[in-house]
Chain A
């Protein structure tokens, strides 16, 4: 697959497969990421600190006192060359509850009127698609997911909010996301998900990973409150919403 090597200072470089959002590019990124992780864990990439996969590129962070750009590129080139022969691994499948009602959905009516459809149809479209987690970023555990149904494509809000509540399920520019933290934000808020996306006490603090698939399941405001309370008390394990895990199944088989 065609790619470019971009310098990101003296301690990082980026392998760029393209400049658009495209599942084919993501498959290449994730295949290269998996190959780099394997080699790194086997001790084959001295000086590599970590890698960061995005929609369309992978950035490798390294210690310039241990390795350098040219040594690293020589070690990475065979992995980059092999990427086109990789078949993407299937991530986990999630079905996450979302309340699309009342104060949990502050922009739903406006989005519906802008798009010229009714609110129920917005909810049906948003919850009727299984989304691919393209990458995590912006905030810890923040999943960029796509692709939205064409009917739901909207630019960001012209006036970003100073405070978007944690758990907000939002859309903008063909993508959807869940805000793991209260933060400023410019996306349209369609609902609220009670499941914490980030917990530093977990071995894997982010609930979702790049390559996972997510479907949203509408719940009522009462169900939302019950789920939120149960999660807060630790009576509900967020893993219950992980409905299929192809990656661990294949590892167990191997």
Chain B
């Protein structure tokens, strides 16, 4: 009898959890979407592993995720500018990300560190996790989703049961034609819904200087440090809905960008909202990194969403079988790696203010 094929979490690293595209339809009862912080990375990782684009993945922060295959071969794929290390019969060696690979039983994969950003997605062929309220996404605060359905993040010793290999997952390993170029444009925001609760200069202040990602940055949100945003009156409103990307500003005037796990309603005025297309790369910034904001209209934000979707589709369409001739992907990709500081104004940026 064949042993069950499993993937064991030897270490989750800084933080790792099962996520998919999130849990829709329950914001009205206070349940945030959760889900991956960067949808593009999830879709690329899954496509590389021969999985549906929105299948559950392991989302991990910084380096340290260490997994080992048991019972049979396991096909994995890594999306994100990670330094990947494989421990197999050939010993330890470094591999480029943006590709799939197959671990034999007993072989291990480790994310040594992130070259850029702080989020990597690991797709796992055959990963089968129970959906809770329509999603496998881990939401720790309410004990929803994840490997066992009870909302726990991945911990050392967790064993993920994998479905038997399909033709798709047995196939050749695959690689993205080229690692996505780092996007250093400003983070685009739509002013509102409560921009009128701030002084007349506050929006200009928000889009004119650098903001630094503080140490308080997790799946709920990112607290930023920079020029103070002055309220026109009280720093409180009667609570209304937040959205992923809401930039709320408490009394001290320092903005907080809400992310996938953030509470669904809040009592701080929200000066602006990060557009959906830019939320993933904002979430991936590391504490200490700086960014700039730029203002766009909601209509312009939707145009950018469509353009970004077209880019994602082009990236996924560029996936091809991995050359079997031992091309040095680490060298191939290293030419594309740049530092992660988001500061340059992109060519398509047209200031609103």
Contact = CB atoms under 8 A, between A and B. Distances in A.
B343 interface: no
B265 A138 contact: yes
Contacts of A138: 30, 239, 263-265
Interface string A192-213: 0000001010000110011000
A69 B296 CA distance: 14
B30 A141 contact: yes
A173 to B, nearest CB: 10
A10 B301 contact: yes
A210 B241 CA distance: 14
A9 to B, nearest CB: 3
B239 A144 contact: yes
Given A52-B28, A59-B241, A65 B306 contact: yes
B141 A183 contact: yes
A72 to B, nearest CB: 11
Contact of B240 (A10, A55, A181, A210): A55
A141 B29 contact: yes
B192 interface: yes
Contact of B192 (A8, A33, A183): A8
Contact of A135 (B144, B239, B245): B239
Contact of B142 (A11, A59, A181): A181
B309 interface: yes
Interface string B138-153: 0001111000000000
A218 interface: no
B132 A200 contact: yes
Contact of A14 (B27, B240, B299): B240
Contacts of A64: 276, 301-302, 305-306
A101 interface: no
Interface residues of B, number: 45
A75 interface: no
Contacts of A209: 29
B19 interface: no
Interface stretch (A15-23, A107-115, A232-240, A241-249): A15-23
Contact of A49 (B24, B133, B194, B240): B24
A137 interface: yes
B239 A137 contact: yes
B217 interface: no
Contacts, number: 152
A64 B27 CA distance: 18
A139 interface: yes
Nearest to A10: B301
Contact of A16 (B24, B240, B274, B304): B240
Contacts of A55: 238-240
A164 interface: no
A7 B241 contact: no
Contact of B273 (A7, A33, A49, A52): A7
B241 A57 contact: yes
Contacts of B305: 10-11, 64-65
Interface secondary structure of B, over-half rule:
mixed
Nearest to B301: A10
A181 to B, nearest CB: 6
B193 interface: yes
Contacts of B238: 19-21, 55-56
Given A8-B192, A53-B28, A139 B263 contact: yes
A9 B276 contact: yes
Interface in B230-263: 237-241, 243, 245-246, 263
A1 B50 CA distance: 52
Nearest to B272: A9
Contact of A200 (B28, B144, B192, B245): B144
Contacts of A54: 239-241, 265
Interface in B306-345: 306, 309
A137 B135 CA distance: 20
Contacts of B132: 200
A68 interface: yes
B240 to A, nearest CB: 5
Contacts of A6: 192-194
A19 B237 contact: yes
B231 to A, nearest CB: 14
B25 interface: yes
A139 B142 contact: yes
B241 A136 contact: no
A206 B133 CA distance: 12
A140 interface: yes
11 contacts: A7-B192, A9-B275, A10-B277, A11-B301, A12-B243, A14-B241, A16-B240, A61-B27, A65-B309, A205-B29, A206-B29
Given A70-B299, A137-B264, 20 more contacts: A7-B190, A8-B270, A8-B273, A9-B274, A12-B243, A13-B298, A21-B238, A50-B26, A51-B28, A54-B241, A54-B265, A55-B238, A55-B240, A56-B238, A68-B299, A139-B263, A200-B143, A205-B26, A205-B29, A205-B31
